[in-house]
Structure 1
Amino acid sequence: MNRLRLLGQKHVRVQFSTAAALLAPLLLVLLAMLFIPLVVLAAMGLRGADGALTLDNYLAVLVNPRYRNGLLTSIGLASAVTTATLVASTTLAYTVVRDQPPATALIRALLTFPLSFPGIVVGFMTIILFGRTGALPALTQQLVGVPLLQIAYTLPGLFVAYLYFEIPRITLALAEAIEQVDARYEAAARTLGARPVQVFVLVLLPLLRSALISSSALAFATSMGAFGTAYTLAQRITILPIQIYDAYTVSFEFELASAMAVVLGLITMVALGVYRAAVGSAYQQQEQ
């Protein structure tokens, strides 16, 4: 018996060693692709125009009004998009999962539709709808004699465009989370006399805490780093991703662009870390 056990343990060790040997090159490549660019960017951000080490580039992102405004605008825009996305997505996900309207299948299909579009396409769609000669301004011109909603190249237009690709993603994630919640909790609350709003706010939302936190972090990180849509629409808007692009390709300030990229990367990495922690917490709760 002991011999069989030893043979079994040896077989497991051999399998583990083989798997480790096969995965090691892949892991090394992935780590190199992840960390080498970050190290290079961080090092370039520490280099001044004369090649000497300096923190001026990083300080410029926080102190220079131009770049500080871009950073704050990006954070404000991402925060507003995240808040609006959570409100809309939670309501829509609850309606699809719990109310199950007749068009549930169609709604789910429509929610997956925007996920296939790259950001630049979303930007052009926003221009078609809200541009100076867009469909909605033309419609309001016919109805009230004034072209309204010409917001494509403004911050509200960028806000609407971000909502277009954030709401479907977060709605589908929250719908899956709501499906995991036992509906008997809500039924028990209704039996005790709770109104629908009370059931939603006091029963369901606390049970969705981890999902809401992870969805918030994901929406924030995506909005902070979005480039294609911003590049199409942000002609008169100062946000950090566009400033990085301009510094690198227009003014050739590679060191400053690297510093801004590192700051943006750190912010999104923190947000994604919150996302991962919330997802792990939700998984542990399901296991329990």
Structure 2
Amino acid sequence: MASPATFLALMTPGVAIIAAFFLIPLFLVAIKVTDGPDGWATYLVILTNGRYLESLIQTLVMSAGVTVVALILCGVVGMFLVRNQFAGRSILIGLLTLPLSFPGTVVGFMVIMLAGRQGVIGGISNALTGEKIVFAYDIAGLFIGYLYFSIPRVILAVMASAEKLDPQLEEAARSLGAPRWRVVRDVILPGLMPGLISSGAICFATAMGAFGTAFTLATDIDVLPMVIYTEFTRNANIAVAAALSIALGAITWMCLSAVRFFVGESADVTTRGGA
């Protein structure tokens, strides 16, 4: 065991980083709420103001939708990539994980090139029907952008979980007469569940707080990060912006904490069952 002096020396850098980049800024943001005319009651603005509440609901629904779609797509594709070897497999995996290297503004620009006023979809629809289909600047375009940069985060976790699955369990289930859907439900999904839950939480939290893509596409989009930006920069309403920021952070933190709890519980159950 390390001596007290060594322990203190090793802990000091970590504590300093947490204090400088998390605790102190969080404290300063929290107390900024009291500068508003309503004081601490400003924290309730997200529930009492219709625009803020609608923005929160829209952000929650969109983030949940992105998470569900990403989990379904990546669950299928991840299992396929793990179970099959073919020419170009590594290239395909590289392309699927490429969005990790793109900032949100680049993702937003790519959505504009796809579904913007001069985008590919608009050009094709105009040639076929005489009308341009443009959805890059509303919630559908933001959904595609968030899904695009969520796929790498989910598929890597799914593939890691899929590699740990024992094919013999599936073979045993089939030999006992279980149809394919029962094998998927009772064998494959439970094995993938820790990876699905943890990656889904990261996907949800990222979509809740992502700003760059929303800023690039922000024409008819009213998600919570954009509302915070507007209140802070354009309206100089720092107290409300701080309250909304704390609310957004608290919701995301509760989501991640719940996932850590349930993943830990499922891991304990799996361990006890295996024993």
Question: C-alpha deviations, 1:123-146, integer Å up to 9, x for none?
Answer: 000001100110121022223333
Letter in 1 for 2:25: P
Residues 1:29 and 2:16 aligned together: yes
When normalised by structure 2's length, the TM-score is 0.91
For 2:125 and 2:204, the matched residues in 1 are separated by 33
Aligned to 1:43: 31
Equivalent of residue 63 in structure 1, options 26, 48, 62: 48
Corresponding residue to 1:132 among 97, 112, 117? 117
Q: CA 1:26 to 1:215, structure 2 compared with 1: closer, same or farther past 3 Å?
A: same
- Seq. identity, %: 38
Listed one character per residue, the Cα deviations across residues 221-250 of structure 1 (whole Å, up to 9, x for unaligned) are 010010000111122111110011111111
Tell me, yes or no, if the aligned pair for 2:231 and 2:240 is still in contact at 8 Å: yes
Displacement of 1:17 in angstroms is: 2.9
Amino acid at match of 1:53: G
- In structure 2, runs of 5+ residues without a counterpart are none
For residue 9 of structure 2, what is the amino acid of its counterpart?
A: L
Q: Quote the residue 2:207 is aligned against.
A: 223
Aligned partner of 2:246 in structure 1 is 262
User: TM-score scaled to structure 1, two decimals?
Assistant: 0.87
Comparing 196-205 with 172-181, greater Cα deviation is found at: 196-205
| Aligned counterpart for 2:40 among listed residues 13, 38, 54 | 54
Contact kept, 8 Å, 2:153 with 2:199, in 1: the verdict is no
Partners of 1:274 and 1:248 in 2: how far apart?
A: 30
Alignment-mate amino acid for residue 247 of structure 1 = E
* Structure 1 pair 107–196 and aligned structure 2 pair: CA distance change class (3 A): farther
Structure 1 alignment gaps of length 5 or more = 1-11
Cα separation, 1, equivalents of 2:160 and 2:262: 15
Of residues 101, 126, 133, the one that matches 1:116 is 101
Question: Do the aligned partners of 1:123 and 1:233 also contact (CA within 8 Å) in 2?
Answer: yes
Provide the rounded CA distance (Å) in 1 between the counterparts of 2:39 and 2:240: 13
Residue aligning to 2:76 = 91
Aligned Cα root-mean-square deviation (Å): 2.0
Tell me the matched-pair count: 271
Structure 2 counterpart of 1:190, one-letter code: R
Aligned AA for 2:130? G
Using a 3 Å threshold, how does the CA distance of structure 1 residues 90 and 36 change in structure 2: closer, same or farther?
Answer: same
